[in-house]
Structure 1
Amino acid sequence: MENVVLVGPMGAGKSTIARGLAAVLKRSFVDADAEIERRTGVDIPTIFEFEGEEGFRQRETEMLRELLERENIVLATGGGVVMRPENRELLKQHCVLYLRVPVAEQFRRTRKSRRRPLLNAAGDPRQRLEELFRIRDPLYQEVATIVLQGRNQRVRDAVRAACEALQARRPDLCPLQTRRDEQA
């Protein structure tokens, strides 16, 4: 069975929205980064510190491959999952929702976080977010089944928007009635 996968930049709300979407769809929620941390016993910044970004990306690819073999899940991925071609090929086999968030909103959501190794390096964090957006946005678009424009909204509204987009594009994955359907 095809899984639902959320991709997008750090601070897009992938984990939060995926958790809510999983509850609505009655599927299991899995967070790829949290699963890597659980299995290694250390947080992502520590993996970056000892193995570098390439070491982390290798772990991420192995985890993605394993998790996508499961059925009936809603998966939240890390922001850089699209950087490897093999990951993009894996993602394209599933229903991928790209949470596209403006850099200004990303910066607002992530500026105080100490758990973002790519932002905590030397340099201007906002400029780094802009650079990552330029590089990654076309890759997110490449794998996306659905692109959702991230706005500063309540979680339940974002989950509802994701459900409505799924119903419109992939009703087989989201056979639910929305309030709009009920009112018609």
Structure 2
Amino acid sequence: MVRGVHGKWCGSLLLAAALAVGGASGCGPVVSPAPGGPPSEATAPTAPPADPSAGAATTVPATPSQDPQPGEVLVEVVVNGGLAGVRNQLVVHYDGTWTSRSGTKPPRTGRQTPAEAAELRAALEDPAYARVPERPTGSPIPDGFQYYVTYRHRLVVAGDGERPAALQRVFAALPEGGPPTGR
């Protein structure tokens, strides 16, 4: 038995079945999928957990040898905060298609060129990105933004002014530089 994302106990058979089809089970509700993509359990929370280990899931990331499905989510970035209290989201799929949601506005979609998509994958697969701290290390900026980047079931949270070079490289490769910070 394994404890899932939401503290529930999952049967090892369920976990084995989930891993056999290339995913991992959080044993919780599945988040609504982004248009054109499969359900994603890797959606970033609206606020960081009070206990950094509280949101940690026992998951197995996809291995590079597994071919991603066309609509599979590559990376999801959520921005929260600011004076206006925004919560905006950008989801990029392995095939380069992306959807950006900002407040109550209709979602915007697009597609990266193959070169842009390759640059984003390279930034995310860079060993330096794997060493980016998962939680902010400095003092928060009042009314600043928090950025939640989810890639292969790993959540990295950064605040304004806390973007190490490897994280800056990821943001530079995102469509439009990431989700908007305005409403």
TM-score range, shorter chain: under 0.3
More strand by share: 2
Which structure has more relative contact order (CA 8 Å, sep 6+)? It is 1
TM-score (norm 2): 0.27
The structure with the largest helix share of the pair is 1
TM-score normalised by L of structure 1: 0.26
